[in-house]
Structure formats: structure tokens, C-alpha cells
Amino acid sequence: MAELKPVYLVHGDDDARIDAWRLRLRRRAEAERGPGGLEAFEGAASSPEQVAASLSALTFDTGSRYLLVDDAGAWKAADLGPLEAALKEPDPQTVLVLIVRGKPLKQLVKLAES
């Protein structure tokens, strides 16, 4: 199996494909970690700072940890600093998936490419 990247950005206007991607992630997280294995955030209700804090939270669990931000397109570029800082040295066991309906911010694209 291919090694997972620390950040994935899923974006576009194809709602069915985005929903299928989200479902595959949820199934994988629950298969590996059990029910509730996916930590989910809503971009409109959760700030990049809150997601960054969750990324750096220590856990005693083994294996991959999955975080999903639905509607990361609600975030403003000026607020992404804490998330960018948290991802400078990502935990190799943590995977962050950002979902943006439509066109993503350049900073989110850059996070996913680094």
C-alpha cells in the first residue's frame, strides 16, 4: 500500500465525487480505528487554529490518525497561519483531508503540495 501524505486537498464542483471521497475516508478511518475514527470539522464552524491544535494534540493511539475538514473553503487566507505552522513538521501518522467545493485558496493548494 502506498504511503499516505500528511495533507490532501479535495476540491471541485463534482459533488458526487467529493462525497464518494469523503465516504471512502470515513470507511478507512473506521476500519483502522473503529467507530468515530475520523475526526471531522466543519470549516464554517471550526477555525484553522482549532484544526492545528488538533493536529498537534498528543494521542496514545497507534496507527494512522485521520482528520477531515469539510468546507475548508470557508476559511480566509489571513487565518491559515496556525495551520501552516502545524504542518511544517507534520506527524507522519496523521492525515489531514481538506474539502473545498469549488476553487480552493492558493495557500490551501500550497499546503497540499508541500
> What is the reported pTM?
0.91
Q: Are 101 and 13 in contact (CB under 8 A)?
A: yes
What is the model's pLDDT at position 114? 77
Give the range among 27-31, 56-60, 70-74, 100-104 with minimum mean pLDDT.
56-60
Q: Are 10 and 95 in contact (CB under 8 A)?
A: no
What is the model's pLDDT at position 64? 86
What is the model's pLDDT at position 63? 76
**Cell 504511503 sits on residue:** 3
